Amino acid sequence: ADLPDADGSAGDDVQQHIPRDGDLLCRDAVHDALLEAARAATTGRSAWAGRALIARDLRETVSRPTLLWGGAPDATDNPYLDDFYHQMERWSFNLQIYFLNSRFRQVMQIRESGKKIIQDRTIYEDAHIFAPNLHAMGLMTTRDFENYSDLFGVMDEFITPPDLLIYLRASVPSLVTNIQKRGRDYEEAIRLDYLTRLNERYEAWATTYTKGKLLIIDIDNNRFHENPEDLGTIISGIEAQLNGLF
């Protein structure tokens, strides 16, 4: 599938796979202790929208001691990620179980820590976006998807939703630009139809999210990592959501 240009038309020179071009954009780190009022705040979105960047900037804006909290295992430690991007139908179930296990462990660690946490991705995204997307695209069998869904259903009984979900809304062209700037070899094989479907599912999920408060940030128009005023707008929105100022 061709990637739409900014005006919505299909680009003639865009290949099926996203090329590598540029340096690392986001640091894979997330941080806790954003606001005293928050039990947990979570940024929802694929890494390509700038999750780690916004978590870093929020941390540096808050004048309280902070700790780093990894949102997911480092890509170099993931035994399935590279194989998955090259052969999705073979490794989709393995990868999703790996992520589900990792994020459920994080949920338990956050609960046990008693700290105020910013987590860079929710466990809900794995279950409601990534796994269903793979199944719908024929990249995960119905048997495996039902097995995965049953396991998540058991885990969900032990999960406390975050006080605030921050959804980073971004267009596909913006996501592609960020992927190119990250310059990660294993992301070169990401299929554009896969990325587009993920984007559609994120939008549908975020706009029907009912587990808690939601703050939507339009990354196409908010350059928070470059413009302090844009970051200030986000901070004000978070405080308003968590503290009920407006």
Please list the active-site residues.
120
Outline where 114-141 has alpha helix (H): 123-125, 131-136
Q: What is the token pair recorded at 128?
A: 């409601």
- Who's near 112: CB < 8 A, 6+ residues apart? none
* End-to-end C-alpha distance for the chain, whole angstroms: 43
Q: What is the token pair recorded at 236?
A: 């004000």
For residue 168, the surrounding DSSP H or E stretch is: strand 164-169
Rounded to the nearest 10°, the torsion over CA 43, 16, 83, 196 is 30
Report yes or no: 50 and 168 within 8 Å, Cβ to Cβ. yes
Question: Backbone phi, then psi, for 196, in 5-degree steps?
Answer: -65, -45
Outline where the chain has alpha helix (H): 51-61, 81-86, 88-113, 123-125, 131-136, 142-156, 172-182, 192-207, 228-243
Alpha-carbon gap, residue 234 to 227, rounded angstroms: 11
